[in-house]
């Protein structure tokens, strides 16, 4: 499989890149700073690109079977003063995909991108999670929500999946079997408290997910997946 990867220099994207190459996939890493990638592999192509420019992106997606986005850590838009990197980049990415007849895209979000953590659960753990989400990454969650709504509204012709992990750690890759559920509200997870998962395990889950062939009738064809 040939995978076009956004966010390969980030914490989760770097794990995804390494795992994909270990499984003998071809990877086109589309990044802002190519010098940050130290891996040398004949199946890896590193490309400097502008994720907000559809024309620039389209030329680099040729012959790819799927697109994976582990983008994150966007600074505020200097023009709008908003955190809008997720929602501002998804249109150019999906538009570029269409020019190359690519239909499969997997993006990474976060738990509680629906309502900034009001369903984070009860008890002390739920209280602190709601506080953290609303005060620290509330604007990020709002932009993830805008990205998700853009996929729903404007990408009905694509097979898209949004993977939403809980709190991320820098822990090692494990053999842990990832639990997940498909849907908008992850109510069954309310009573599980504040959870953590390693970025390496998330990357492994994303790679296994994008490797799956999907039919339009599949639950994962156009859906959110909460993992943890």
Per-residue pLDDT tens, the chain, 228 aa: give them.
999 999 999 999 999 999 999 999 999 999 999 999 999 999 999 999 999 999 999 999 999 999 999 998 776 676 765 688 999 999 999 999 999 999 999 999 988 776 544 444 444 455 555 566 555 567 888 899 999 999 999 999 999 999 999 888 999 999 988 888 887 655 445 445 557 899 999 999 999 999 999 999 898 899 988 887
- pLDDT tens digits, 72-104: 877 667 676 568 899 999 999 999 999 999 999
C-alpha 202/C-alpha 171 separation (Å) is 11
pTM for the model stands at 0.88
- pLDDT tens digits, 16-46: 999 999 999 999 999 999 999 999 999 999 9
CB atoms within 10 A of CB 101: 9
Write the CATH number for 114: 3.40.50.720
Domain that holds residue 147: 2-227
C-alpha 185/C-alpha 114 separation (Å) is 8
CB atoms within 10 A of CB 153: 8
Number of domains in the chain: 1
């Amino acid at each position: 499989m040939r995978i076009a990867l956004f966010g390969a220099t980030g914490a989760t994207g770097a794990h995804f890149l390494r795992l994909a190459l270990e499984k003998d996939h071809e990877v086109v890493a589309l990044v802002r700073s190519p010098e940050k990638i130290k891996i040398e592999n004949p199946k890896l192509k590193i490309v400097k690109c502008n994720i907000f420019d559809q024309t620039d992106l389209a030329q680099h997606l040729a012959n790819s079977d799927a697109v994976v986005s582990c983008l994150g850590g966007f600074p505020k838009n200097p023009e709008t003063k908003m955190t809008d990197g997720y929602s501002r980049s998804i249109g150019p990415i999906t538009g570029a995909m269409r020019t190359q007849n690519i239909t499969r895209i997997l993006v990474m979000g976060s738990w509680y991108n629906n309502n900034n953590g009001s369903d984070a659960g009860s008890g002390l753990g739920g209280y602190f999670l709601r506080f953290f989400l609303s005060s620290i990454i509330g604007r990020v969650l709002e932009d993830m929500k805008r990205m998700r709504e853009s996929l729903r509204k404007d990408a009905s012709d694509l097979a898209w999946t949004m993977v939403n992990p809980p709190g991320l750690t820098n822990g090692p890759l494990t053999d842990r079997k990832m639990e997940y559920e498909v849907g908008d509200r992850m109510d069954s997870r309310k009573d599980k408290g504040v959870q953590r998962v390693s970025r390496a395990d998330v990357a492994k889950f994303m790679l296994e997910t994008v490797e799956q062939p999907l039919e339009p009738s599949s639950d994962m064809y156009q859906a959110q997946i909460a993992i943890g």
